[in-house]
A and B are shown apart, each in its own frame.
Chain A
Amino acid sequence: MRGLPAQLRSNEKSKRASAMEPLLKLVGVQLTLQGRRVLEDVDLSLDAGQIHALLGANAAGKSSLAYAVMGCEGYQPDAGQIMFDGLCIDALPVHERARLGITLAWQEPARFEGLSVRDYLRIGAHGASVEECLLKVGLEPTEYALRAVDKTLSGGERKRIELAAVLAMCPRLVILDEPTAGIDLLSLDALIDLIEALKAGGSSVLLITHQSEVAAHADQASLLSEGRIVCQGKTPDMLEIYRRRKPLRC
């Protein structure tokens, strides 16, 4: 994954905002799904231009937090606030949050019959070339641009295309939900390059993962356990706690 598309904007606005307040701020967020509390009093801050890793075991509530930030149906918090660039976005539907510059790369991306990779990457794109974005994720444009984003793609291919779509969007905030899931280990370095490149281009990244090697590249990290943020701080410290899997008290 060689650098970023030239068109990736620098997000000067985000940089200006960072001096004043976090780009993303969750305050006391509580979420209940089917009668079960999955997020409890979650406070989380992500500064503009930073990579923030959200660590946690399976079922800790990481993906639920991602969907709540994106505004997905059924993931509206019962209590608390989600702020983006100083604006409360609780009442905004998914597409309006996307228009503010937030996007989400799903852990298992949806498939679309009859929609070509090229057309898919053009949706919400901000000038970045489809070919360039595909090359960045290690896919040959001549082979993939005209293929459908359907079940003929392998899980890994589909995942790479999702990352290419994120690149094409040049978002202010991208939530990457388990970006390593389904991608072979040989691609791990390339994925890390991509995350770094997103940051270099001005995007902030909320990186949801349980993989220490990937999380190590984050500026900040939070540890989520049973729906609660139990630690938040510098990544090496958080990883140490995560690796030791000690009782999660900070």
Chain B
Amino acid sequence: MPDFQPILTLFNLAGQHPPAIPQAAHLVAYGQQLSSLRSLPGVKIEAESSEVCIAAHITIAAGVRLDQPVHLCFGMFEQHGEQDVHLTLTLEPGAQAELWSHCLFATPQAARHAMHGEFRLMEGAVLRYQEAHFHGTSGNIEVIPCAQVLLEKAARFHADFSLIRGRVGLLDMDYRVDVGEAGVAELLSRAYGFATDAIRIREQVELNGPGARGLLKTRVAVRGHAHADVCGIMEGNAAGARGHIDCMEVVRDQATASAEPQVRVCHPQAKITHEAAIGSVDSKQLETLMARGVTPDEAVDLIVRGMLA
């Protein structure tokens, strides 16, 4: 029977209420060490660890619809360390699942957490993937999430990445999604940078199948001397492909930000739109809250927290 106390401690240190991990299909790892994994009927989880990485393979069987999320919990107790995760995830035809990845790095002074994901969603499969990071205040955490996602016919992928608790440190994110016929990809990324944090988000959605649809939504706030670069790329390569890029960045203090939405259309019946806004908080929003007695700083915080919620 694995000891779940350490992961519960990490959740507590991050100020988070821990989910019911022991009963759920899960994989728990500290640093490069596997702590626990559990498969359930229809959910096969295999993993092995070495000095250099954790390699995990998750398969959701055809037609299986999971009532409870699959939990991936990654954390670290040491003050310094690395964690490199290679994750292969397959949803067989018609499978539907929710996968929550909790990355708990409230304790380390300096750490590097890299994820290399290869996700394949077969025909009609649906995946809701939520990756939430919880950091401390050191600012020396490097987070490098990369994923290649393949959506086959009518598959749906909804991703929600957040790093809004604690200092970001360095975030260098790179997601690429290949969307097949009638597939849907929706990616939401949220980050809040302070002090000297650096945020780089690169997401690319290729709408390659007829009727494929995509949404890239990014919400980033930076303050202090933090910097954010957001690059969203959407390609419409087939008839009836519809895509949209929606990027909003709020900048305060001496922080800086850039947004680079790239729209590429290679088929006359495809359509991609985009909107991007960078700047300080909208003055009307600010004054609306101030007219309720809220100070300017509190108002900005409310607006930014709402945007990142």
Contacts and interface: CB of A to CB of B under 8 A. Distances in A.
A88 interface: no
A46 interface: no
A100 to B, nearest CB: 9
Interface string B278-299: 0000111101111111111001
Interface in B244-280: none
Interface residues of B, number: 23
A85 B282 CA distance: 31
Interface stretch (B33-41, B47-55, B204-212, B300-308): B300-308
Contact of B292 (A93, A103, A148): A103
Contacts of A110: 282, 284-285, 288
A95 B290 contact: yes
A114 B288 contact: no
Given A93-B296, A113-B307, A70 B291 contact: yes
A93 B294 CA distance: 11
B290 A93 contact: yes
A127 interface: no
Contacts of B306: 112-115, 148
B1 interface: no
A94 to B, nearest CB: 4
A148 B309 CA distance: 11
21 contacts: A93-B290, A94-B287, A94-B291, A95-B294, A95-B295, A95-B296, A98-B293, A102-B291, A103-B292, A111-B285, A112-B285, A112-B303, A112-B306, A113-B219, A113-B307, A114-B307, A115-B306, A115-B309, A123-B294, A124-B292, A124-B294
Interface of B: 219, 282-285, 287-296, 299, 302-303, 305-309
Interface of A: 70, 72-73, 93-95, 97-99, 102-104, 106, 109-115, 123-124, 148, 165, 169
Given A112-B302, A113-B309, 20 more contacts: A73-B287, A93-B290, A93-B296, A94-B287, A95-B295, A95-B299, A98-B292, A98-B293, A102-B291, A103-B292, A110-B285, A110-B288, A111-B285, A112-B303, A112-B306, A115-B303, A115-B306, A115-B309, A123-B289, A123-B292
